Structure formats: C-alpha cells, structure tokens
Amino acid sequence: MTDETKVGKPAAQLWTREGFGGPLSVVTRPTYGPDYLSVEGKHAPRRSVLNRMTPRDNDDVDALPSVVASSKLGVRVLVSGRRKPMPFVVRNAEADEIHFVQTGTVRFDTDVGSLTAEEGDFVCIPRAVAYRFGPVGESMRSVIIESPSAISLTPPAPFGMINFARDVKYAEINADIPAGGPTRLILKTADDEQTVYLMPHDPLAVSGRMAGNAPVWKLNLTKIQVLTYLPDGGPPSPFLSSTNGELLMFNLSARITNRPPVHINADFDEMVCYVRGPGAWGGCTEAGTLTWVPKGVVHHGPSENVPEGYLAWLIETRATLRWTPEAIATSELMETGQYGPHPSLRK
C-alpha cells in the first residue's frame, strides 16, 4: 500500500475484525473507498478542534466538563477547560477516567493522594476515587475518557514501550489539605443525574498511607514508545486497555511505517487526538484536533510516517459513540482519507 492510491487504480481494501488482530478480507477496487458525497444521520465521521469548544466548566465554576460523545456501553468522551479549581469534589461511581492534559498545568487532589499534571500527561483516576482539579495557571484544556470497566497499562512490550519505574508517577499523600468545612461531593454517573452529598468536611483531607499503592497515576505521551515492525510498520499496539476489552488506547505519534491500508474496522469506533506538530498528520494541522471514525465506515487515514514528527493518541472502543448536540455544533463533517473537513463543506 502506498500513498498514491487514487481513483481508477485498483487499490486494496480491508475488512477487519478485532482491529487488525482478527479475521480479515482483502479485495481490490477500482474506486477510492473512503469517498462519499454527502451523509445524513448520526453515524458519520466528525472532526473538531478543542480550543474552538467552550466546555461548560470554562465559564461556570460550578459546572462539570462537557460531554463530547456518549454511548450505550457507558464509554464517554468529555472536555474540560477550567479557569479556576473545582469548588466541589467528584467521585465517578460508574467509570474509570483518563484525563489527557492538552494545555496548561493541572493540579489533581484525590482522596488517595495528589499530583500535578503537565501538557501531554495522561492521568488515571479509577472508579470511586474522589477528586478535585484545577489549573495551576490561568487556564487548561483536557480530554476525559470514561470507561465502565477497569483500565490499566498493558503494553505488549513491557520492558520497552513504557519504563514503569522511571515514567509512571503515582499520586503522593498531601497532608496539607485541610479537613475544612462543609464540602459538596458529587457522585457522577453516566446518566448525568448528579447526586450531591453535603459533607461536614473535605473528603480529600488525608493523613497518611497505611497499605497498598496509590491507584492514581500519570504518564506522559512522549514517554510511551511507538512500536513498528520494519520494513512495513504494521498496526500500532495499545499501551492501555480495559478489563473487558471495550477500550484500547494507542500512541499514534509519528513512526516509520507505511500508510495504513484503506480499511473498515468492524468492531471499534476510532477517535484520534492530534496533539501537536511540528509535522502535520494529513489534514490535521491544528493542535488539539479530535477526529472520529465510527465503526463500519470505510477510511484510509493519514500517513504516520512524518519525518518532522507529531504527537497523537488514538482510542478504539467497542462502544458506538454518539456526539452531543453541543459537540456537533462546534465540529464538522470529516472526509476519511486524510481526515480533513469534508469537501461538501467547501462552498
């Protein structure tokens, strides 16, 4: 497969199960599979740029992050853009959360310890850990992935892909959080029905650790090695997965590889966050571009072989995502060749 796939020139098109890990069928076609003229309905590829979205918590200090997409399986994607720390505490009763910090420095206090996350950090807050976060400076922007089943770091090459001892940082006890006075504690559930407890104290006040490890950790995207199988590259490998396999997460940054084939992913929705350059990833040039190809949609995808380098991550989920009206309003239809705006928008 080369980058020169054009209409009129027979090109391979794959149908694959389990990402590229299961049964597959390859045919050649005289046409370019990703082309479509128009689409009506919800199951259509979209793209958005994070700094064009205004999350609810950007202007309303009492708001929770805005939901970008939700699903029947409970996997959700949210975006946060706080300018002040949360004046309340949240405990997600139904999902593990991964917060990816796109911009800013973010302080997380949790009921098992605290950490400060920088740009490019993934922060894991498992189900039922209470937390509060906010920017250390003026502002921040993060993408939050919620997974109902437990997520963990599961690199296929544990001694090379992630240096656990060096790069995975765990929350540390911060005994300076005062016991405080009455604090609102929001029990967060995927139905968005908030249950608010009024606590007589700050539930994040902690005195010390007696046993066990802090389940809250951070890891920077730049510390996760990309895997490639020379000379052709092959599919990327997930560094993180959920217990029941409904969610996989990959470093999709630049690597030496051939361009992916035109393919159809039978089992997973694919959402990529192009974090930043210097190089462009196909039609994605703006830092913080979120792209979504729903399962069953023919796509090609830009080449990852970008000598100038770029940073990106990918989630694959068995959940069928549905964008919220709020997110649809700040996004656009996407073509699935290079992941730029769909040609029908150029009018």
Considering the complex, what minimum distance in angstroms separates the CB of residue 91 from Fe ion? 35
CA distance linking residue 148 with residue 156, whole number of Å: 23
270-287: string of b/e by CB count within 10 Å (b at 16+)?
bbbbbbbbeeebbbbeeb
The angle formed by the CA atoms of residues 146, 149 and 153, to the nearest 5 degrees, is 85
The SS3 call for residue 298 is coil
85-113: string of b/e by CB count within 10 Å (b at 16+)?
ebeebbbbebbbbbbbbbbbebbbbbbbb
Residues that bind Fe ion (CB under 5 A): 265
Closer residue to Fe ion (CB): 21 or 160:
21
Considering the complex, what minimum distance in angstroms separates the CB of residue 149 from Fe ion? 22
* Strand 262-265 versus strand 11-16 pairing type: parallel
Closer residue to Fe ion (CB): 66 or 265:
265
Closer residue to Fe ion (CB): 80 or 265:
265
Considering the complex, what minimum distance in angstroms separates the CB of residue 322 from Fe ion? 19
Considering the complex, what minimum distance in angstroms separates the CB of residue 260 from Fe ion? 6
- Token pair of 327, please? 């997110």
Residue at token pair 């076609």: 29
3-state SS of 45-57? Answer: CEEEEHHHCCCHH
Closer residue to Fe ion (CB): 129 or 314:
314
Considering the complex, what minimum distance in angstroms separates the CB of residue 314 from Fe ion? 9
Which residue minimizes CB distance to Fe ion? 265
Candidates 339, 334, 291; CA nearest to 39 is 334
Closer residue to Fe ion (CB): 113 or 261:
261
Considering the complex, what minimum distance in angstroms separates the CB of residue 268 from Fe ion? 8
- Token pair of 329, please? 């309003």
Closer residue to Fe ion (CB): 186 or 247:
247
